[in-house]
Structure 1
Amino acid sequence: MSYTPPSWYPPGRQPPAPAPRSRRDRGLTALAVGLALLVVAVAGAGWYGYGYGPGDGRPRPADAKESAAPPSGRASPEPSLRTPRPVRVPGAQELAAARRPGEAAAWIAADPTDLPRRTVHVDGPWIVGDTIVQALYREVTAYRLSDGAEVWNLTLPTPVCEAPEQATPDGRIVLVLATSGAQRGARCDRFQMIDLRTGKAGWTKELLRDPARDTPAILVHTAISGDTLAVAEGLGAAAYRVSDGSRLFTIPTEDPGRCHPDQVAGGSRLLVGATCALGVDRRERYSQLRELDPRTGAVRWRHRTPAGRRAERMISVDPVVYTSIDNERLTDDWRIVALGPRGELRRTIDPRPKGFEHCVHVGIDAGLQPCPGIVVGHGLVHVGGTDRVGAYDLATGKLLWGIRTHDGRTLTPVGSPSASGTLVYESATPSRPGRTFVLGKGGADTEKVLLKHPAAAAEAEYSTMAGRVLHVGGRIVTMPNGVSGDDARRQPRLVSFAPARE
């Protein structure tokens, strides 16, 4: 890889003409028509406000419309949803025999699941003890981190609609399931608790219906903090106890009734996002973030975005760092926003002049979490993307360093092991493996290779398209965002690399 100094970055790009409104904007505008139409509008927001993009494999409502282009008005990249040709997955013995001196050890988890002939979204992964767990279509599977061996597999009655980003500290998750196996017309109204340590199914229940509506939610967003599951459905939200499924509290609307909770984020904090000023022009519409006590629902602090902007993706919940986008120009006008401990504005960073993209590999309107390609650690926010990676100081907002490749590979920061280093994953090409290296504060001149990925796994590694990349105990794991149900286009579910024991 060759680098140029941090001054390589191109000048700021001029934003294109205003893009068509997103599905969330259309749903929220309909909501503001009047009280007489409130029921219809809320249902519309449930259908269109949080829809996943065509081809991602999520169950889709019967009335959802598919358009030729995404809301931004330009082609939306789906690098992790398609592979150009069948992928040959070598077994563990073959990988070990083909490994060259200096290369990392690897294992690959293939996908034997019988899937519909479409791309099916992959949920997770969740790390529980020495296992990594994924949910795919109607199955949840745990693999041993050391060698990729399957530890347990649980078959679900219907496909997965949605899953939280984090599990509980003791390894439990609550999935939202569809009412049927149909791709269209399925409603997402069932909770299913699963113990990820054992693969045993726990309690199950239907999502409580809003008394003002005669139909359950179509799409929902969920998050877990401690033993609390927060659920946003339509333009309302509530919290449940993970251990037994009992309802804890309703998350209220505010200002008065003009800020409707519609997003949640979990982890060490429970955050609720709301869309505010629904009755005015979208240029005046804004987002509100609240931190809630996950046990009682008490509000710890509130934060609001400027008019005309909304909170889109949560990069970190502790400290709170999120991305904001313009209501009209969407991700062509995005920022990184850092908050203080009481929700006060700490710093706003504009990464666009340096060519960074918003949350690489994901679109908009699909929940607050996750934001791939951006991580926070040791007072820095590390931003990756197609052919570049850099680090900004959260205290000053200044770029400390940036590097760029010249072959179009994706660079993904996956952690900050110390205050002086950033761990970076460089994606594979169809014929060349990726690698993992550490960069110091000096940028390119401080590069130190951590893992040289094996050539025998290059094709399988490339097929995941770095949809999600994790660093777990010195091991790198990469997975696709979606898996093709076409047997001739299958790709592996997980590819893992670790230091070889010579």
Structure 2
Amino acid sequence: MVAAVVAALLAVGGVTWYALDGREGRTDDKATGSTKPTSSAPSTGPSGPAGAPPPDAVDAARYNAGRAPGDASVLWVRKNDIDVTTLGGDVFGPWLVGDAVVTAMYRTFTAHSVVDGTVRWRLTLDTEICRASQSASPDGRIVLAVKDVLHAETDECRRLQMVDLRTGRTGWQQKIVKEGNFDFFHEYSIAISGDTVTAGRHGYSTAYRLSDGKQLFGRWEGSDCQPYAYAGGPKLVAAVSCPTSDADKPQEEIHEVDPVTGKSRWKYRLPVGYRVGHVYSVRPLVVSATNRAAGGFGIVVLNEDGTKRTSLKGQDQYADGCSDDVAHKGNLQRCKVVADDTTLYLATAWTKDKGNDIVAFDLRTGSEVRRIPGSARHITTPLRMEGGSLVVRIAAMLGEPGSLATVAPGTTKPVEILRIPRSAARVEARFSDSPALYADGRYILVKGVVVGSTDAEEREVQTLLAFGK
């Protein structure tokens, strides 16, 4: 298990960073698409909590029995109760909506109370989930790409499905239009910005209105360059590919697009050979890029008008924690990186001798301004900002329990705010590379994949752990 986690952490950008100087500024490129009528399906509702198993009180009591003074409490533990395929189930989410944490796996959504882990609602779809938006809209809606047919032998995933995470009800359903003869890729980039949701994929893109599923725009007309992936949030950012004669020398651009019309507001052209990696932050806009042929890696910071502010300068190997597995491929924003208005926090790669650090970069100059030291017996990653301070996840490793800490602005010393009991260190280690949430004093770990050789083994997999005072 330790070897697998270390391998995942090391599979990131190389030691060489480049300035990523590109051509930038506003553009008048045509970027329009046709509008087609939506199709809709009757809304279905969730099943109630009746019949849902309770949290695992036995394991929670056992972990709490081993608490030392000052240790956090194990608030609740959940085991898997969803039957998945023999290949296992990838977990989508988590999404925190009000006082519920929502996850989805295979074709089932479950909302658990963050207070006691009880099931608030459960929703089962008629077919499997292929992709999901990384974040929910401010009012708690997400959009999925789902298979056309249950248990289909092919990965034909051309249906979009809106789900309201506040109520556990489905809304509109829409067929992803085929934009051309070669539009058969299904690694959709689903991102939400305002009332727009995208379905980007290789060579094509389509966007729909979040409120009712009406198509807003599609493939850019009159342009050889085409968006293939999007990042959402306070603005809509597109990764755009332009045709070249040499496959080892791709030409890509970063655009901000109008979320209603799809027209480009500005573009920034990456150096030849670089592809867009991930979007670490949308506002401020921080984008990583990779050059696979040359082994290059870089991070560029752009201004609101698309002009370059700076490139980050670093000498370490870095572990941005971006998920590029099959279930989340095409998602530009699933990374363990934190940014505020002035600073980007990025973990270095873990080594067995020194562990890893978190490096703070000034987004105005691109320079390292401070370094938050980690521990050789833990994996340290930035989790979120809270009240101007950085919340740091210090995950279990090599038998040592983990903790949460905060780092005040301008300082380098983590101050512990929550410590995992040693009695729970082994189970916590199984979540070391999984998503985590911290809100209202509760620290919730979410299993990323559920696998078991039998149904009985599947149901013994612990899928959520919640800690608190």
Q: If the length of structure 1 is used for normalisation, what is the TM-score?
A: 0.74
Structure 1 segment 49-448 matched on structure 2, within 5 A: 91-106=59-74, 107-182=76-151, 184-210=153-179, 212=181, 217-252=185-220, 257-276=223-242, 278-329=243-294, 332-351=295-314, 353-359=315-321, 362=324, 366-384=329-347, 385-386=349-350, 387-388=355-356, 389-419=358-388, 421-429=389-397, 431-440=399-408, 444=412, 446-448=413-415
Distance 1:334 1:90 in 2: 48
1:99–1:244 distance in 2 versus 1, CA, 3 Å: same
- Encode CA deviations 1:231-289: one digit per residue, 9 max, x unaligned: 11331111111222111122516xx533121111111111111111x232245422212
Displacement of 1:144: 1.1
AA paired with 2:149? S
AA paired with 1:113? I
AA paired with 1:262? Y
Structure 1 segment 19-34 matched on structure 2, within 5 A: none
Contact 2:179–2:218 (CA under 8 A) maintained in structure 1: no
Displacement of 1:380: 0.7
Contact 2:15–2:316 (CA under 8 A) maintained in structure 1: no
> Would you say 1:496 and 2:466 are equivalent positions?
yes
Displacement of 1:174: 1.3
AA paired with 2:280? I
Contact 1:189–1:216 (CA under 8 A) maintained in structure 2: no
Contact 1:261–1:275 (CA under 8 A) maintained in structure 2: yes
Contact 2:393–2:404 (CA under 8 A) maintained in structure 1: yes
Q: If the length of structure 2 is used for normalisation, what is the TM-score?
A: 0.79
Displacement of 1:474: 3.2
Structure 2 counterpart SS, 1:179 = coil
- Encode CA deviations 1:381-419: one digit per residue, 9 max, x unaligned: 001242322211111222122244453522110123244
Q: Identify the range of structure 1 (481-490 vs 371-380) with the bigger mean alpha-carbon deviation.
A: 481-490
Distance 2:172 2:322 in 1: 36
Displacement of 1:440: 3.8
Post-superposition, which runs of at least 4 consecutive aligned residues in structure 1 deviate over 6 A? 12-15
Distance 2:444 2:267 in 1: 36
- Encode CA deviations 1:463-492: one digit per residue, 9 max, x unaligned: 122322233233322223322143437532
Distance 1:118 1:443 in 2: 46
AA paired with 1:359? G
AA paired with 2:235? R
Distance 1:409 1:183 in 2: 42
> Would you say 1:452 and 2:419 are equivalent positions?
yes
Equivalent position of 2:10 in the other structure: none
CA RMSD of aligned residues (A): 2.7
Displacement of 1:95: 4.4
AA paired with 1:456? S
Structure 2 counterpart SS, 1:354 = coil
Contact 2:379–2:397 (CA under 8 A) maintained in structure 1: no
Distance 1:496 1:14 in 2: 36
Equivalent position of 2:52 in the other structure: none
- Encode CA deviations 1:139-195: one digit per residue, 9 max, x unaligned: 111111122221111111111100011112211111111123447522111111111
Structure 2 counterpart SS, 1:222 = coil
Distance 1:139 1:14 in 2: 41
AA paired with 2:446? M
Structure 2 counterpart SS, 1:220 = coil
Kindly tell me the number of residue pairs found equivalent between the two proteins. Answer: 407
Identical-residue share of aligned pairs (%):
29
Distance 1:288 1:375 in 2: 23
What 5-or-longer segments of structure 2 have no aligned partner? 1-12, 17-55
Displacement of 1:91: 4.0
Distance 1:497 1:337 in 2: 37
AA paired with 2:210? V
Distance 1:314 1:154 in 2: 31
What 5-or-longer segments of structure 1 have no aligned partner? 1-11, 16-87
Displacement of 1:424: 0.8
> Would you say 1:462 and 2:432 are equivalent positions?
no
